[in-house]
Amino acid sequence: MGRLEIRRASLNDLNDLTRLMREADERPYTTSDVQRILHNLNEDRFVAWIAYADSFPCGITMLERKTLRWRNCDLHSGFWVNLYVRPSMRQTRLFVKMVMTMFQAAPALGFDLLYAATRRSQVAEANIALGMTEVGRIPLYGCILRPGRLLAKYRRLGVYLRPICYIADCIYYPVVYLRDISWQHNATIAQCDWIDEGLHDVTTLRDYISRDCVYTPLNSQQYKDRFDVAPDRGYYELLTSRCNGTLRGAIAWRMAERGPSIRAGIVMDVVPSSEDFDHFKALFRTIHQRARNNGAEIVLALPGWGSSAETYLQELGYRRMPEQYVVMMRPIKNLPADFPVNDIRKWRYTFADNDAF
Ligand SMILES: CC(C)(COP(=O)(O)OP(=O)(O)OC[C@H]1O[C@@H](n2cnc3c(N)ncnc32)[C@H](O)[C@@H]1OP(=O)(O)O)[C@@H](O)C(=O)NCCC(=O)NCCS
């Protein structure tokens, strides 16, 4: 390794950042995509570090500023994202040096704590070895909509086997459809525009149900901004369920491509009113319908929004996927004595926290 430099990144590094983020996410980002994703590298939103070896860009690591609320105490938090080291520079200690640079800078940048989540177990192990603490694990759940096509894509089956899989889907769907239309409920499901007054109801309910958890509070403007445009320019939909005009639940979701061209509906955020399973079920069924109409093979959800989340998903026919997300944190300053450092059940973590699925 030649001369190594790790420094704070600015918009002057935009071309290099774009190159590295394209490689890291395997997406054809433009510089304006990266500028948007990194919020113009405005220090109030994002802090980034970039590494150069002999003037060649070779690594990045970033902290997104977020607020984590725990029992009325708002903590300045850095959500660790966009960690990447170019293959030619792996296992050279560059990774360790970048992480240490970031950790050492965190107190002066005003952070109370850093946190992260990853589904790559090797990365979690490495981060823990470098000083993060495991908060806990959240398993990924999936509801299969087109089992045949999913299998064909996942196993990369040849053209001769594919028709058999597709015929299986043609049998599967009417069975599910008949089951769904025969189910009676009194929920009124509607799509909420991101400018709707209804958004305020959603964020108020979200605050209320999260009051005993560590979570990212978002007012209606922040909720709208969060779901404005996805990193890959995809869009999000917010569905609400009401009974006699009163909000009983809401779900934000989107379509995305995952793995070998697998089309997936992604449940981004779930805001259920307490134990109201019918509204929850009606919302999920609507999402399944919409995802199916958009060509989805599967719908994925991360049950990190409450203690009954996993049970509810299982009742809806979701199955545990092989992956799980490891949530980690590192205190930077003194945290409240009862802060749940090692208790994931007291954290609200969903894909709303990060579009990493
Ligand atoms: C993740 C990434 C940045 C790690 O960089 P790397 O150069 O491959 O890291 P290394 O394998 O050299 O590990 C560095 C140190 O981390 C620790 N470490 C790594 N893997 C570990 C493991 N499984 N268990 C414990 N410690 C581990 C060790 O301290 C190691 O130092 P050592 O070489 O003295 O043992 C890099 O692999 C990468 O960019 N991957 C693709 C993008 C990515 O996955 N980003 C994370 C998204 S969540």
Token pair of 293 as six digits: 């109409």
Among protein residues, the one whose CA lies closest to atom 43 of ligand 1: 84
**pLDDT value, residue 1:** 64
**pLDDT value, residue 255:** 97
**pLDDT value, residue 258:** 85
Strand spans (E) along the chain: 4-8, 46-53, 56-70, 73-85, 113-118, 133-144, 188-191, 236-243, 246-258, 262-272, 298-301, 319-331
pLDDT in tens, the chain (357 residues): 679 999 999 999 999 999 999 999 999 999 999 999 999 999 999 999 999 999 999 999 999 999 999 999 999 999 999 999 999 999 999 999 999 999 999 999 999 999 999 999 999 999 999 999 999 999 999 999 998 888 888 877 777 677 777 787 887 777 777 777 677 788 899 999 888 788 999 999 999 999 999 999 999 999 999 999 898 889 999 999 999 899 999 999 999 998 778 999 999 999 998 667 889 999 999 999 999 999 999 999 999 999 899 999 999 999 999 999 999 999 999 999 999 999 999 999 999 999 998
Give yes or no for residue 122 CB within 6 A of ligand 1. yes
**pLDDT value, residue 168:** 78
Question: Which helix (H) or strand (E) segment is 37 a member of?
Answer: helix 31-37
Give yes or no for residue 120 CB within 6 A of ligand 1. yes
Counting atoms of ligand 1 from 1, which one is nearest the CA of 116? 48
Give yes or no for residue 51 CB within 6 A of ligand 1. no
Give yes or no for residue 95 CB within 6 A of ligand 1. yes
All domains in the chain, ordered by first residue:
4-111 (3.40.630.30), 140-325 (3.40.630.30)
CB atoms within 10 A of CB 24: 16
Taking alpha carbons only, the member of 134, 203, 190 closest to residue 352 is 203
Give yes or no for residue 87 CB within 6 A of ligand 1. no
**143 alpha carbon to ligand 1 midpoint, in Å?**
32
**pLDDT value, residue 170:** 81
Counting atoms of ligand 1 from 1, which one is nearest the CA of 122? 23
Amino acid symbol at 333: K
* Coil/strand/helix, residue 135: strand
**pLDDT value, residue 97:** 98
**pLDDT value, residue 61:** 98
Size of the chain in residues: 357
**pLDDT value, residue 162:** 72
Among protein residues, the one whose CA lies closest to atom 34 of ligand 1: 93
C-alpha dist (Å) from residue 320 to 61, 159, 256, 290: 31, 29, 19, 22
**pLDDT value, residue 156:** 79
**22 alpha carbon to ligand 1 midpoint, in Å?**
19
Give yes or no for residue 85 CB within 6 A of ligand 1. yes
Among protein residues, the one whose CA lies closest to atom 12 of ligand 1: 91
**pLDDT value, residue 275:** 64
Do 227 and 236 touch, CB atoms closer than 8 A? yes
**pLDDT value, residue 70:** 98
**91 alpha carbon to ligand 1 midpoint, in Å?**
7
